[in-house]
Amino acid sequence: MIDRLEKEVDMLERHLEVLRMVIENEPIGIVKMSNETGYPHHKVRYSLRVLEEENLIEPSSQGAITTDHTHEFVEELDEKVDETVTKLHSMKIESAAEAEN
């Protein structure tokens, strides 16, 4: 059960690292991202596809570039991550047992 969550978090981390690279280096291509991150081309390509489906990046002839929605997503990201961390923390069985005592 937790293994699946860990895999999703790892994948989200990769997607956000790819997004960060696009923001900082746009336009940027798969080969450069793969070389700089160490992720295989197919994983970078998958992350780019997910980011494109979320309308956070778009392809150009020189490589991936940001969209009008990217800035808004980035502004809201920290708060959403903090909310998720708080929710996960409250799920700990130790914390629930301590709260009852």
What is the structure's pLDDT at 96?
53
Mean pLDDT of 79-91: 93
Mean pLDDT of 64-89: 94
**pTM of the full predicted structure?**
0.85
Using an 8 Å Cβ cutoff, are 56 and 69 in contact?
yes
CA distance 88 to 51: 25
Q: Which helix (H) or strand (E) holds 9?
A: helix 2-25
Using an 8 Å Cβ cutoff, are 20 and 66 in contact?
no
What is the structure's pLDDT at 98?
59
